[in-house]
């Protein structure tokens, strides 16, 4: 098994077990622009709003909660994920290892709170022209998915 760190570099697999981490991400496009954020842990790359599901949550519930927490936007989650994948990630410094199982959904904006402060994980939030994006602009967690979604 090969684990990657948060920057996409191959790291040594842990001894023993590792966590199972289901996550959901939303793709909100307005006027040819994709809603992106800059994560606190990698201010040079983009990521999509979303994150870990809590036990007992549906995809829909988790993505609505994560989107509201990270962007201040209320959304409608469109049915069926448009992409899903799984990868092994780890952080040897903190001895945290997990298998990320992700689902990406198209979403529609219902409303936004322009006065909302960014959450503790996000440093900036903005729409980026899709024609100017490629998968290398995104964090290692989402690079593979965005390569297929953006087709570049």
Backbone angles phi, psi at 120, to 5 degrees: -70, -10
> Which distant-in-sequence residues (6+ apart) come within 8 Å of 97 by Cβ?
3, 13, 14, 18, 19, 88, 89, 90, 91
Residues above pLDDT 90, as percent of the chain: 51
- Which has more pLDDT, 25 or 7? 25
Q: Which token pair is 136?
A: 């290398």
Averaged pLDDT score across all residues of the chain: 88
Q: Which two tokens stand for residue 38?
A: 């800059």
CA distance 49 to 67: 6
Can you give the pLDDT at residue 45?
92
Residue 152 pLDDT > 60, yes or no?
no
Question: Which residue range(s) make up the domain with 132?
Answer: 3-11+18-150
- Per the model's pLDDT, the better-predicted residue between 69 and 107 turns out to be 107
For residue 37, pLDDT beyond 80: yes
Q: What is the CATH number of the domain that holds 132?
A: 3.90.79.10
Asked if residue 85 has pLDDT above 70, the reply is yes
Res. 40 pLDDT band, cuts 50 70 90: confident
Domains held by the chain: number: 1
Q: What is the pTM of this model?
A: 0.87
The answer to whether 36 and 25 are in contact (CB under 8 A) is: no
């Amino acid at each position: 098994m090969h684990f990657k760190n948060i920057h996409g570099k191959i790291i040594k697999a842990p001894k023993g077990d590792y966590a199972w981490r289901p996550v959901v991400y939303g793709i909100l496009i307005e006027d040819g622009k994709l809603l992106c954020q800059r994560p606190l842990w990698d201010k040079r790359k983009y990521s999509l709003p979303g994150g870990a599901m809590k036990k007992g949550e549906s995809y829909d519930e988790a993505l609505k909660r994560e989107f509201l927490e990270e962007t201040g936007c209320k959304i409608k989650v469109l049915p069926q994920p448009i992409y899903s994948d799984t990868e092994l990630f780890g952080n040897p410094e903190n001895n945290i290892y997990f298998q990320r199982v992700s689902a990406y959904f198209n979403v529609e904006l219902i409303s936004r709170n322009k006065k909302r402060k960014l959450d503790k994980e996000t440093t900036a939030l903005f729409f980026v022209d899709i024609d100017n994006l490629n998968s290398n602009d995104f964090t290692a967690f989402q690079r593979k998915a965005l390569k297929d979604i953006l087709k570049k």
